[in-house]
Amino acid sequence: MKHKFFITHAVLCLLFTVTDISAQTRDYSNTIRVIPGDSEETIISKAVHVVPDGRQLSSMKREFIAFVHFGPNTFTGKEWGTGMEDPSVFALRNLDTDQWCRAIKAAGMKMVILTVKHHDGFVLWQSRYTDHGIMSSGFKDGKGDVLRELSRSCRKYGLKLGVYLSPADLYQIESPDGLYGNLSKKTERIIPRPVEGRPFRNKTTFRFAVDDYNEYFLNQLFELLTEYGPIHEVWFDGAHPKRKGGQQYDYAAWKELIRTLAPEASVFGREDIRWCGNEAGDTRDTEWNVIAYDFDPDTSSVFPDMTDYDLGSRKALCNAKYLHYQPAETNTSIREGWFYRDEEQKVRSADDVFDIYERSVGGNSIFLLNMPPDRNGRLPDKDVSVLEEVGEMIRRTYGRDLLVKSDAPRAVLDDDPDTYVELTPDSNVIEIVLPQPSTINRLVLQEAVAARGERVEEHFVEVLSDGQWKKIAGGTNIGYKRILRFPEVTTDRIRITVSSMRADASISKVSAHHYASRPPRLSMKRSVEGMVTIEPVIPAFNWKPHGENTISNLYPDLRIYYTTDGTAPSEASLPYEGPFHAEKADISAVAVSNSVYGPAETCSFGLVKKGWSVSYDGTSVPEHWTDFAIDDSPDTWWAGSADGNRTLILDLGEEAEISGFSYTPPSNSPEGLVSKGTVSVSQDGTVWTGQEEFEFGNILNNPVTRVHRLNSPAKARFVRIEITGVAGDRDSVAVAEFGLF
Ligand code: FUL
């Protein structure tokens, strides 16, 4: 007979001493040290006692939060500024933070984090400590304050507020009297430094022995954390377009100030919340939040590298010096790029965002979605309608739990995360009987992480169908939340088995849902000959047992339609019947099933590369030949030395009208990436004209296709691309694809 405990947090300790001997000697903690010589068993026993603190728990419960990138880049169309922009570049006339918050609220998000200072050093609030910001722009005669307006709107719409304050600061690096890396001595400074005529209402003061830049940073943190209402997240970006003077960050001082002034704020980039490791919205299949550290995360000032795929497996933990609880934030942008650029910029579809939501929130992480306001201070209509649609999809799917009236342990049906069912290796099943057969395709599982840490290593779900138990979904860990996705099934009995656990596992919630699925997303590619292929993308399910999940099984009557001018496709558009030729075309395609439309996918294809050749004036890295830069296959790439000459000449074989070029970096190569260069054109390969510079900011963290439009389009047969800047401290630089349009 199954042996289940239905317990509350209050009686947890008592029961725990009875059920787990090791717990008698071990306390729960946010970080636990591994002692040299600890056996695997001891390390795992320690790992299951690593739990989130209150701040982390609140951050995870917020689940879906908004990022807003706004600043001079919004007006220059760049991803990274230089720091030397004239403040008048920030030519804001109108600002509607209420509109931002309405859209954020409609998406079901709980917090918004604003880039109050990006790497360019331009501040969006009325700081006492610099003139490089909104106070020197024409916005509201220099009296404007984006953070003030946003904090008011947040209060109005019931959203929490966070701030992104870039440690990298190009203005303070580049200006003659800049403070960043100015080699000033560490001396005792009082924070906040008094500024005449601008007293603080909050009278707290701190004394820290820090240098000029750290003092500047602390003064600004003081303003942000005391004058804009409660701040719930402070976001420290690890990215640095440039460094100077060996500048160090006195994180211990920053932390003391933050913990004192904003005790509820989680710190991103340090010990509270970590980066997920990419900016594309990718998620790990197994995202442990109890992870291995080489150093003490609570006292170190190091920005840890969180890009490894495996951070928390048994193997990773066994090589650790510290075990630390640290949830990941999956951060990505609704648009191509973090800042608003133009209306050509691709916007993710609602289906795409919803997919990331399910993988991130339902994969034990927090989903931080960026939405950049445009030059009118508003979120563009396109983005707003995606956010509204996503909110609707989330509410429609997860707002209704089909298990509420079921026969199952109350602890997993109620919404109290502190009540849970405890499973042991001998009693590892939860069975649920529904009041009547229901059609489901989503299951949500949660562990009682606050009380009991992360314990589940593997689990699967079965339903009773035609008198037989049939596996429908499964996965590895659960943690704060796991969403399982599977093809529709109708059943009145569900069985959940935890097949591998680090210690007795505590399941606090099970719910089942139905997602009104739509026809799938599409993927498009074009061959060197110019033939475009469109394919439906099989939805990512958490179980693929019998090869059943094929497009024809899932959508028997699927049709694809497309347009060649970028306009919205419909059933009246061209039907896709196989590869077709396209040059200089914006292909927009949609999958339709029973008159229900999937999300439209648009791809801009430039000149066909047939007959092209490419030459390089240096030596290519073996096996990464020049042809790979124009073979229309992003999986192969050209690579050359990161030093010296790096000029590639594309020969189109005949003249064509050229208005720009695109650069696609390899997504997974050990090479450096093109960050800067010049481009010029020629009719004969000898006389070059129209040379202009290009720059691809943030290319390393966000290695997606970048486009440079020529100031004046030209007729030419040859295009010369000289690489003058390489991102990443690597020996070589790589190009997966160059395109021309
Ligand atoms: C990156 C930055 O360099 C980008 O500009 C952006 O702010 C992103 C969230 O983090 O590392």
Closest CA to 397 of 520, 283, 473, 485: 485
Cα separation, 513 vs 461, in Å, equals: 14
Of 242, 191, 243, 238, the C-alpha closest to 212 is 191
515 CB-near residues (< 8 Å, 6+ apart): 393, 396, 397, 441, 442, 485
Pocket test for ligand 1, best of 268, 275, 303, 698 (most atoms within 8 A of CB): 698
In angstroms, what is the span from residue 697 Cα to ligand 1's centroid?
10
698 Cα to the center of ligand 1, angstroms: 7
At 221-258, the pLDDT tens digits run: 999 999 999 999 999 999 999 999 999 999 999 999 99
For atom 1 of ligand 1, which residue has the closest CA? 239
pLDDT at 544: 62
Tokens of 580: 């077709």
Q: From 504, 509, 507, select the one nearest 425 (Cα to Cα).
A: 504
CA distances from 161 to 226, 386, 688 (A): 13, 22, 52
Strands (E), 181-286: 187-191, 206-210, 233-235, 266-268, 274-275
The larger pLDDT score, comparing residue 581 to residue 303, is at 581
Q: Using one digit for the tens of pLDDT, what is the confidence trace for 584-600? A: 999 999 999 999 999 99
List, for residues 665-674, the tens digit of each pLDDT value: 998 788 899 9
Task: Return the ligand 1 atom nearest residue 331 CA.
Answer: 9
Distance of CA 429 to the CA centre of its chain: 34
- Identify which of 338, 673, 696, 704 to mutate to test ligand 1's pocket (most ligand atoms within 8 A of the CB): 338
Q: Which residue's CA is minimally distant from atom 2 of ligand 1? A: 239
Confidence of residue 545 (pLDDT cuts 50, 70, 90): low
Q: What atom in ligand 1 is closest to the CA of residue 118? A: 7
Ligand 1 lining (C-beta closer than 6 Å): 79, 237, 239, 331, 338, 698, 701
CA 118 – ligand 1 centroid, Å: 8
Nearest CA to ligand 1 atom 10: 237
> Whole-number mean pLDDT of the chain?
93
Task: Report the distance separating Cα 478 and Cα 221, nearest Å.
Answer: 36
Pull the structure tokens for residue 172: 């303070």
pLDDT at 17: 29
Q: Could you give the dihedral angle defined by the CA atoms of residues 150, 152, 154 and 157, in that order, rounded to the nearest 10 degrees?
A: -130
What per-residue confidence (pLDDT) applies to 19?
A: 33
654: Cα separation from own chain's centroid = 42
The pLDDT tens digits for 499-523 are: 999 999 999 999 999 999 899 999 9
Cα–Cα nearest to 109, from 143, 154, 77, 149: 154
Residue 29 is classified by DSSP as B
Substitution site in 79, 120, 279 for ligand 1 pocket (most atoms within 8 Å of beta carbon): 279
What spacing in Å lies between the alpha carbon of 237 and ligand 1's midpoint?
Answer: 7
Query: How far apart (Å, rounded) are the C-alpha atoms in residues 703 and 282?
Result: 13
pLDDT at 360 over 90: yes
Distance 125 CA to ligand 1 centre (A): 19
Across residues 541-570, what is the average pLDDT?
86
Query: Could you tell me how many helices (H) and strands (E) the chain has, helices first?
Result: 15, 36
CA 699 to centroid of ligand 1, rounded, Å: 10
For a substitution probing ligand 1, which of 79, 237, 331, 366 has the most ligand atoms within 8 Å of its CB?
A: 237
Residue 547: predicted pLDDT: 65
